[in-house]
Amino acid sequence: MSSVNLASLRPLTSRERREEPAAGDGRRSQWLAAFRAVRGETERRAAPLSPEDQIIQSMPDASPTKWHRAHTTWFFEQFLLGPNQPDYQVFDPRFGYLFNSYYVAAGPRHERPRRGLITRPDAQEVAAYRAHVDAAVETLVETADEPLLGRIIPILEIGLNHEQQHQELMLTDILHAFSHNPTAPAYQAGWTSPPVARGGRASVPLEGGVYPIGYDGSGFSFDNESPRHEVLLQDVGIDRTLVTNGDWLEFMAANGYAEPALWLSDGWAAVQADGWAAPGYWRHSDGAWRTMTLGGLRPVDPAAPVCHVSYYEADAFARFAGKQLPTEAEWEVAAAHGLLEDAFGIVWQWTRSAYSAYPGYRAEPGALGEYNGKFMVNQLVLRGSSLATPDGHARLSYRNFFYPQHRWQFTGLRLVDYAR
């Protein structure tokens, strides 16, 4: 889905920043290129969508495209320009209220479930807002003296990674909206699903022992990936490949959605309340299953990885299969040792690990400390990345997290087995 490859526009690592302080202009131009690439990718993803498409909010968890475009812009205005560019002129003082997401320290904000009611500013005004902030950020990067450049680059870097996260949400959220349109519109008419590994769900052994997990590099990572620390793993077999639609059809044929013994109590309640009988977006008509994709309604391919399943469904399927979901540590160690096919770029993979702080984790003080830390309860960790994740955004240590009932993201699973 993505044309931007940040690997080729790679921002300098913190080690390089320390070792090459004299290369100021080179550093400036690299960051300007990275900024333009990420900002351009957002607009590229929005381009197929009409102004009407960009207003819609199909459920409280999803946000309008226009809001994503404006919110990612507000992030730079609020955290980069405001504190560091004394003569910066705020584009519109009302936008802070409209486009702050959850940063309590940054002031009051419009309530999330009602973002779809905001028809003004319109898409054209949001484009002007983006252009205004782009110009100011570029001027700041071009003119900052070396000490200021050193202070603003980390904020610019988190702003770019933040915008990449919203690029993925733009696709998941518009797919949810389009799934409610009886005409099943295509986001991209010629869209094709990414190729995946074939050859069955063979299990590969991962030897027990003490392993390090967490971020281990000198580039960018989110705070929730640190500190790196040691974990104790048991001997385990982990599936080389992802669970497929064909596997899921067997689960359905065995009345998996109707057998309470397979389900967590909260999961069974969700099945009852929401009437789940198949993965999200699946529709049965004329004797066949079809599913909503970025290319519109398409036949369900039995060989393709299952997508749009909740944690509750993933857990029930694992029980049906006589296996378990991996822990996030098992996933990371297996991926680090090259044991996993399709670890990245297809579906985020549910783990059975609760999203919580690593040993010694401390959120930064201030508003940006709200980025990850305050969400560390009641959610589950997903690992890998999906077909909607922008190039260059995924990492071995990356921790995504969602509530167990959520299934509008590109979410799937692989299994582990301790019976040796």
Q: How far is the CB of 224 from Fe ion (least distance, A)?
A: 15
Q: How far is the CB of 371 from Fe ion (least distance, A)?
A: 8
Q: Rounded distance, CA 14 to CA 94, Å? A: 36
Nearer to Fe ion, 65 or 351 (CB): 65
Judged by beta carbon, residue 163 or residue 225, the one nearer Fe ion is: 163
DSSP state of 104: G
Rounded to whole angstroms, the Cα distance separating 69 from 310 reads 27
Q: Is 400 in the site for Fe ion (CB under 5 A)?
A: no
Q: Shortest Cβ distance from residue 75 to Fe ion (Å)?
A: 6
Tokens of 63: 């946000």
Amino acid (one-letter) located at 101: S
Sign of CA dihedral 407, 191, 9, 64: negative
For residue 196, what are its two tokens? 């995946």
* Of 42 and 101, CB closest to Fe ion: 101
Q: How far is the CB of 68 from Fe ion (least distance, A)?
A: 8
| Angle ∠(346,348,349) on CA atoms, nearest 5 | 115
Least distance to Fe ion from the beta carbon of 166, Å?
A: 6
User: What's the min distance (Å) between Cβ of 115 and Fe ion?
Assistant: 12
* Interaction pattern, residues 101-140, with Fe ion; x per rule: CB under 5 A: x---------------------------------------
101 vs 241, beta carbon nearer Fe ion: 101
Shortest approach of Fe ion to residue 188 CB, angstroms?
24
Query: Which string of b and e fits 317-337 if b means at least 16 CB within 10 Å?
Result: bbbbbebbbbbbbbbbbbbbe
Nearer to Fe ion, 101 or 244 (CB): 101
> Residue count at the site for Fe ion (CB under 5 A)?
1
Confirm if 373 and 357 have CB atoms less than 8 A apart. yes
Q: Which is nearer to Fe ion, 100 or 203 (CB)?
A: 100
| Footprint on residues 74-103 left by Fe ion (CB under 5 A) | 101
Specify the residue, 368 or 416, whose C-beta has the smaller distance to Fe ion: 368
Q: Which residue is nearest to Fe ion (CB)?
A: 101
Which is nearer to Fe ion, 249 or 367 (by Cβ)?
Answer: 367
Gap between the Cα atoms of 36 and 373, Å rounded: 29
**Which string of b and e fits 109-123 if b means at least 16 CB within 10 Å?**
bbeeeebbebeebeb
Distance of CA 177 to the CA centre of its chain: 18
- Using alpha carbons only, what angle is made at residue 398 by residues 393 and 401, rounded to the nearest 5 degrees? 110
Please state the closest distance from residue 259 (CB atom) to Fe ion, in A.
Answer: 39
Number of neighbouring beta carbons within 10 Å of residue 212: 13
CB atoms within 10 A of CB 219: 14
CA distances from 75 to 160, 161, 297 (A): 10, 11, 35
Dihedral sign of CA atoms 391, 393, 399, 405 in order: negative
Distance CA 98, CA 74 (A): 9
Q: Given the complex with Fe ion, which of 164 and 351 has the nearer CB atom?
A: 164
Q: Minimum Å distance from CB 52 to Fe ion? A: 23
Enumerate binding residues for Fe ion (CB under 5 A).
101
